[in-house]
């Protein structure tokens, strides 16, 4: 499902599927675009103590776009459009990879700068807890073992997650979205 979130007009979302089934999207000056996919089963939020890992490759190949040219993916609930959503990628207020509540609140900015035309591997550990959940972002991990430190966000109760969406105004390509129950599940080929 491809969705244009413009409130002023409806326009065809131009998405190019390239070799390897990656998604490439042009920058926008008037709209925010998303391409969403509901998963066959929920992957986070089912029960307290549940830990899930999600990873993807992201490449910013240009600059520009509305709201600072942000881009990345968000995870949320497909049946409740108003449920909180977790965003991973480049927010509009930083040139570093970050994790935030969709819309820009509660941003946790990494110390890893975004380099245009260079691929980054983003991994997030989603830990479902009573009350606010804990999300740990790892940028370009160098081993198949989970790093001991990352960038932690713990001010969001995500609820049940069963939807992944590419969300952007800037020029980005995303590939190899993986979900697993261990860090190794999402970083090995």
Within its chain, how far is the Cα of 30 from the centroid? 21
Average pLDDT over residues 2-30: 42
Render pLDDT for 56-74 as a digit per residue (tens, 0 to 9).
Answer: 999 888 777 767 678 899 9
In angstroms, rounded to a whole number, what is the distance separating the alpha carbons of residues 56 and 88? 10
Judge whether residue 82 has pLDDT over 70: yes
Q: Which of 95, 88, 129, 87 is nearest to 111 (CA)?
A: 95
Measured at the alpha carbon of residue 173, what is the angle toward residues 29 and 153, in degrees to the nearest 5? 90
Q: What is the pLDDT of residue 41?
A: 82
**Token pair for residue 188?**
């090995």
Judge whether residue 9 has pLDDT over 50: no
For residue 182, the surrounding DSSP H or E stretch is none
Q: What percent of the chain has pLDDT over 90?
A: 42
Sign of the four-CA dihedral 83, 94, 110, 171:
positive
Render pLDDT for 27-52 as a digit per residue (tens, 0 to 9).
Answer: 666 677 777 788 888 888 777 889 99
Q: What is the pLDDT of residue 25?
A: 60
In angstroms, rounded to a whole number, what is the distance separating the alpha carbons of residues 163 and 145? 27
Q: Are 163 and 44 in contact (CB under 8 A)?
A: no
In angstroms, rounded to a whole number, what is the distance separating the alpha carbons of residues 37 and 167? 12
Half-sphere exposure of 78 (CA within 13 A, CB side): 16
Q: Are 123 and 55 in contact (CB under 8 A)?
A: yes
Q: Are 122 and 88 in contact (CB under 8 A)?
A: yes
Average pLDDT of the chain, as a whole number: 81
* Residue with token string 């969403």: 36
* Residue with token string 């089934």: 21
pTM of the predicted protein model: 0.83
Q: What is the pLDDT of residue 83?
A: 86
């Amino acid at each position: 499902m491809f969705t244009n979130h413009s409130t002023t007009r409806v326009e065809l979302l131009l998405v190019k599927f390239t070799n390897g089934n990656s998604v490439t999207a042009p920058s926008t000056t008037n709209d925010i675009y998303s391409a969403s996919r509901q998963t066959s089963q929920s992957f986070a939020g089912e029960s307290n103590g549940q830990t899930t890992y999600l990873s993807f490759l992201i490449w910013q190949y240009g600059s520009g776009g509305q709201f600072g040219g942000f881009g990345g993916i968000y995870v949320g609930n497909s049946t409740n459009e108003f449920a909180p959503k977790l965003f991973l990628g480049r927010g509009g207020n930083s040139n570093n990879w970050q994790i935030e509540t969709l819309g820009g609140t509660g941003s946790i900015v990494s110390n890893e700068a975004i380099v245009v035309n260079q691929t980054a591997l983003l991994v997030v550990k989603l830990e479902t807890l009573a009350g606010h959940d804990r999300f740990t972002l790892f940028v370009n991990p160098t081993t198949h073992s989970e790093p001991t430190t990352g960038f932690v966000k713990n001010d969001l109760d995500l609820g049940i997650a069963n939807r992944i969406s590419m969300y952007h105004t800037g020029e980005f390509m995303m590939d190899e979205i993986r979900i697993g129950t261990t860090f190794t599940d999402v970083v090995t080929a």
